[in-house]
Amino acid sequence: MVNVPNVKLNNGIEMPAEGFGVYRIDDFDDCKQAVKNALQVGYRAIDTAQQYNNEDAVGAAIEESDVDRKDIFITTKVWITEFGYEKTKRSVLESLKKLRTDYVDLVLLHQPFGDSYDSYRALEDLYDDGKIRAIGVSNFNSDCYIDIQHFARIKPAVDQLETHVFFQQKEMQAYTEKYGAKLESWGPFANGKHDIFNNPTLKEIGDHYHKSASQVALRFLVQNGIIIIPKSTSIERMKQNIDIWDFELSAEDMQLIESMDTNESSFMDLRDPKIVEWIVNSVPKN
């Protein structure tokens, strides 16, 4: 079984450098089995969210697993329908029930819209109460991240963003390093776009190390200090995705992959007004 190294967050707690994501694993039984398989393979971090509607399946899998809860790092995220101080506190306590745990290791604000500042204050108070071990944000680009970290009483430990070889988030890497947060990648395979699994550059590099293009793509991120949460429902792919800790890309390889950066989203650009309209219009008005 692969032992994934930990990274230390800005409040001193440690988080696995690689975890397992459950986005779009909607069926309860499918999600529960996927999480159980991931834990069996060696993953010790599980990333879910209120908006994924599978916290209950994650909780059931962890409860049924042979792995102790204290050895599993759980991340969940507060969706914008639950933003606002009181709503956020209630929603996190409801997430704890679904996850069948007394605390969550990391809670993120899922989007930088709506009443995110009151919600962040709610997370700070839940942190003080021991319900949360670390606080972070998700999809906060540099402007939003700099703003919230400056005024926060408890600084964000993580900013989770779309990050992959075609969208390397170099600016965010610089700012999270400057202000003490860790950059975490969602969508490390670019949502399957750019034919990433057959990319000739990644395949050629991988052949040198007897690794696949996808393993090279993941290794590039972790060598840049970026936390990753690849997702798959295939146990063989889970094994492949976690089998990246026994090789190191050369400086020349890293430089070559850096040249692949398009600096463009492969999923949804949160600076696009149409995308922002679509997200905020999904929230019912009071």
- Cα–Cα distance measured from residue 97 to residue 203, given in angstroms and rounded to the nearest whole number: 44
Helix (H) or strand (E) holding 45: strand 45-47
Residue with the two structure tokens 């430089």:
255
Q: Determine how many CB atoms are found less than 10 A away from the CB of residue 57.
A: 26
- Cα–Cα distance measured from residue 258 to residue 37, given in angstroms and rounded to the nearest whole number: 33
Buried b / exposed e over 155-192, threshold 16 CB at 10 Å, is bbbbbbbbbbbbbbbeebbebbeeeebbbbbbbbbbee
Q: Is 120 a catalytic residue?
A: no
Question: Which residues are CB-neighbours of 21 under 8 A, at least 6 positions away?
Answer: 47, 186, 229, 230, 231
Contact by Cβ (8 Å): 64, 37 = no
Of 23, 43, 52, 85, which one is the catalytic site residue?
A: 52
- Cα–Cα distance measured from residue 134 to residue 7, given in angstroms and rounded to the nearest whole number: 13
Q: For residues 131, 106, 118 and 171, what is the CA-based torsion angle, rounded to 10 degrees?
A: 160
- Cα–Cα distance measured from residue 207 to residue 209, given in angstroms and rounded to the nearest whole number: 5
- Cα–Cα distance measured from residue 124 to residue 129, given in angstroms and rounded to the nearest whole number: 9
Label residue 96 exposed, middle or buried (CB < 10 Å: 0-12, 13-18, 19+): buried
Question: Which residues are CB-neighbours of 155 under 8 A, at least 6 positions away?
Answer: 10, 149, 179, 180, 181
Tell me the catalytic residues.
52
